[in-house]
Amino acid sequence: MISYFADDGNWARLLKEVEGWRGTPFWEAIGARARKGVAADCVSYVGACMIGAGAIGGIPWPASYVTHGGGEAMLRTLLLAMDGIEGLPEIWHRLDTVPRPPVERGDILVVSSGKALHHLAIYMGGNRVTHCLAKYGVTEGNLFDPLIAKHMVAIYRAVR
C-alpha cells in the first residue's frame, strides 16, 4: 500500500493546502461551510486539505455528526464515516493486536482526547502535526504531545 503523499507532487499540493489554511480560526461544527481564513473545525480542516490535495474526492459525513461533544458515540460516528471514504483505508486501530506502524507524511490521525473525545490531525513529518484547535485555530503541534500520542485511536492513509 503506497501512500498518496509518497509522490512529491502530491505532497507539495498538501503543503500548499495546509499553508493556505494557516491561522484560520476555529468555529465549532462548521463542517462543509469551512473556509480558508474564515473558520474551520478539526474535521472540516483535515477533510478540506485532503480534498484540496486531490487525495480524496469527498467526505460522506452523516448529518448526525457534530464536532463538539457527543463523546464516544461521535467518535464511533467519525470512524464509520472515515471508513466510508474511498482511497483512505484505516491502517491501524488502537484495538489491533499489532503495534502501531510508523506514521508517514500525510497520514490522518484520529485522536480521542479533550471535551469532544474525537479529533483529527495530519502528520506532517518530523514529528509535526497540523490540526485545528478551539483555542488556536489552524496550527502546528507535536506528534508526541500527550494529547495526541497517548490518545491516538486510528491512523488513516490516503493511497494511490
Rounded to whole angstroms, the maximal C-alpha distance in the chain is 42
pLDDT greater than 90 at residue 90? yes
Residue 97 pLDDT:
76
pLDDT tier, 87 (very low <50, low <70, confident <90, very high otherwise): very high
Instruction: Characterize the bridge pairing of strands 137-142 and 119-125.
Output: unpaired
Tell me the pLDDT of the chain averaged across its residues: 90
CA 96/CA 51 separation, integer angstroms: 28
Q: Give the DSSP letter string of 22-73.
A: TTPPB-TT-GGG-BTTTBB-HHHHHHHHHHHTTS-S-----TT--SSS-HHH
CA 102/CA 135 separation, integer angstroms: 29
Residue 149, SS3 per DSSP = helix
pLDDT greater than 90 at residue 52? yes
Residue 116 pLDDT:
65
Residue 131, SS3 per DSSP = strand
Q: For residue range 114-157, list pLDDT tens digits in order.
A: 666 788 999 999 999 999 999 999 999 999 998 898 889 999 99
Q: For residue range 1-10, list pLDDT tens digits in order.
A: 899 999 999 9
Q: Give the position of cell 463542517.
A: 31
Contact 60, 31 (CB under 8 A): no
CA 65/CA 54 separation, integer angstroms: 24
pLDDT greater than 80 at residue 70? no
pLDDT greater than 80 at residue 50? yes
Residue 26 pLDDT:
95
Fold of 4-156: endopeptidase fold (from Nostoc punctiforme) (3.90.1720)
Residue 143 pLDDT:
95
Cell numbers found for residue 158? 490516503
Residue 99 pLDDT:
83
Q: Which one is predicted more confidently, 114 or 101?
A: 101
pLDDT greater than 90 at residue 45? yes
Residue spans per domain, the chain: 4-156
CA 20/CA 2 separation, integer angstroms: 26
Residue 68 pLDDT:
67
Instruction: Characterize the bridge pairing of strands 128-133 and 119-125.
Output: antiparallel
pLDDT greater than 80 at residue 40? yes
